[in-house]
Each structure stands twice: as structure tokens, then as C-alpha cells.
Amino acid sequence: MNQDILLEIKNLYICVELDGDSLPIVEDVSLSLRTGEILALVGESGCGKSVTAQSVMQLLPKQLKIESGEIKMNSHKQGKIIDIANMNPRGSEIRKIRGNEIAMIFQEPMNSFSPLHTIGNQLMEVIRIHRKTSKSEAKEIAVEMLDKVGIPGAARVIDQYPHELSGGMRQRAMIAKALSCNPTLLIADEPTTALDVTIQAQVLTLMQGLQSEFGMAIIFITHDLGVVAQVADQVAIMYLGNIIEQGSAREILKDPKHPYTVNLIEAVPRLGRLEGRKALIPIQGSVPSLYDRPVGCPFVTRCTRVINNRCEETMPRLISMSTDHQVACFLYNPSEGESS
């Protein structure tokens, strides 16, 4: 594992136990993330984005499990490479990492806060667990963090309960909680989806500023390509548990290769004059169920550019289109999958 790589996922398989069957949720996913980089995981609901991110913190629901693969992190605080995939989800090793080296923010802040305790008490608890401070020191840090994320009157807000804050303020408080221990990796799971567009823009700007200040890496989970264009350095497009295209955000948004990525971009609403503006092109069909997963390319049931007797039978592997752009599609490697 290169020293400039913070997180490396290799050949990750995650399965769910349903009615006695073990069905894949995530298949052969490989990703890497450098220190200070923002990686966007993009795709429709149910494509495996959140499950992949949860596995990095060993927070998978009990019916899911890591079947095989590696999740390794270059721990700056411990000064060594740590093997997350083989850690006990309830063990002391992973508890040292959650909230301390890897933090997570969610789409709905109330999932992150207890309604029974004040904002301040919940921030102070995290700080005291991982930073070994006194109660008064933890309170100072909590107020400082609330102020840093742009919450006015932080010294007063610290004594309020989550329900007393607006949605935008709760989101800011959740970011303050996640960053209170200076994590090296932040996982943001659709953090702006539930907010109105004005607050969305404020939160994204805030996160970019904090990312630059703290130098942390971010895995940003979203289905919104507008958000990707604004914040991401690297992009991984997921469909039905597979990475089907990945590379720099600039290259993928400018020159998408996979038919699914092309469809996603064509379905994005654009501002501008009505004259000459293209109509939105929806993606036909729906994501197949786990019980009806295609044998070959996962997108084959919805693709308009299928190569007969190949896409239906063989899963294409990722191939390089450039030094920083990979795609899994037979359109760009037509000889692959042919019978010898």
C-alpha cells in the first residue's frame, strides 16, 4: 500500500442472507483514496453506495457481512496500516477508529443525535472518549467546533436539544460532531439531499472549506451529479453493486463512456433558456432485484447499446481509457468476452 494512499479497498464482496440464500450486494469493488482527496460514489438508490461506505466503518446491518476482500487504511494517528475488513465490528479496535480516524455524517441529522440529550453533551461525549480531555476542555472544543461550522450563538446552542434547531443547523451540528476529533477520513452519506437548495449550497461550501482546513479525505455519497461537479476530485459510478466507471471528476463529467453514466448525465436538469434546450432523457426501466440479477453486465436490462451474446453472458472488467479513467463496458473492449 503506497504511503500517499489513505484508504484502499480491494475486491470487496458484501452479501446479504435472505431466505437461506447468500446474495451479493457489493461485487468485486476496488477503490483507493488519497489523503486530502474527495471521492464521490454515484448511483441510483440501492446500487450499493451506502453499504460500501458502511463497511469502511464496520457498521453493516447484522444481516449483511463482508464475504471477502480487503479494506486497509493508512492510520496517521497509529502510524501503521490497519486492516479494517478483518476487525470485529463490536471490538475495541474498530471503536478506536470510529469517530476518531473515520467519521460519518448522514442524510438525516436526527439519526446521529439522541433527542434526549443536548447538542453540547453529545459533542462532549465524543471528544472525551477520543481526545481524553477534561469536561471543561471538551466544552470549549465543542463550542469552538459549533462556531467553526457557522452556527451563530454557539455558546447558547450547546445547551439546546436537536429538535430545537432547524434542519440546516442540525446538519451543521452533525458536521461539528463528526469533525470534533479531527478525523483523517469523513464519509458523507447524501448529507444535503433533505435540505432546500439554498441550505444545500451553504453546507457544500462549508464542507469544502473544512476539508481544506483540516486536510481530511472525504467519501461523498450522492446521486446528484451537480454536487459531484462542485466538490469531487475523483468519481466512482456504481450500478447494482459494481463499479462500472471511475476516474477524475473532470474527465468523467466531460467525456462519460459507460451508457449508464451517459444516461445519468442526460437526466440532469439544466438551467437556461427554453429555446434549443434538450429535453431530459429518463433512464428506461428499473434496477433489477437481487433475485433477478443479470449474469453479464449489470446494466444489460436497461442498456440501449447491448452487444448481443456478450453483454448478457459475461461481466466486463474495468479497462483503462486513459491514465485516470476506467470503464467496464464491451463497447470499448469488443474482443473481451468472445469465446475462444
What does the pLDDT look like over 96-113, one tens digit per residue?
899 889 999 887 767 778
Q: What is the pLDDT along the chain (340 residues), one digit of tens a residue?
A: 677 899 999 999 999 987 778 899 999 999 999 999 999 999 988 899 999 999 999 999 988 999 999 999 998 878 899 999 999 999 999 988 998 899 998 877 677 788 999 999 999 999 998 888 899 999 999 999 999 888 999 999 999 999 999 888 888 898 899 888 889 999 998 887 767 777 778 888 888 888 888 889 999 999 888 889 888 999 999 999 999 999 999 999 999 999 999 999 888 776 655 555 566 677 888 888 888 889 999 999 999 999 988 999 999 999 999 999 999 999 998 666 554 3
Considering the entire predicted model, what is its pTM?
0.89
Residue 194 inside a domain? The answer is no
Question: In whole angstroms, what is the distance from residue 53 CA to residue 51 CA?
Answer: 5
The count of structural domains within the chain is 1
Distance between CA atoms of 194 and 78, rounded to whole angstroms?
Answer: 36
Residue 325 lies in a domain: no
In a domain, 45, yes or no: no
User: Distance between CA 290 and CA 293 in Å, rounded?
Assistant: 5
Q: Are 215 and 35 in contact (CB under 8 A)?
A: yes
Q: Show the cell assigned to 117.
A: 440529550
What letter would DSSP give residue 116? T
159: domain range?
102-182
Query: What pLDDT is attached to residue 340?
Result: 39
Compute the half-sphere exposure of residue 316: CA atoms within 13 Å on the CB side of its CA.
Answer: 28
21-34 β-sheet, strand order: 21-34, 5-18, 64-75, 80-83
- Evaluate whether residue 115 is within a structural domain: yes
As a whole number of angstroms, the distance between CA 314 and CA 298 comes to 10
Cβ atoms within 10 Å of 334's Cβ, excluding its own: 11
On whether residue 250 sits in a domain, the answer given is no
What pLDDT score does 19 carry?
77
Instruction: Tell whether 123 is covered by a domain.
Output: yes
DSSP H helices in 151-196: 154-157, 167-179
Q: If 0-12 CB within 10 Å is exposed, 13-18 middle and 19+ buried, where does residue 26 land? A: buried
Residue 40 lies in a domain: no
Classify residue 117: in a domain, yes or no: yes
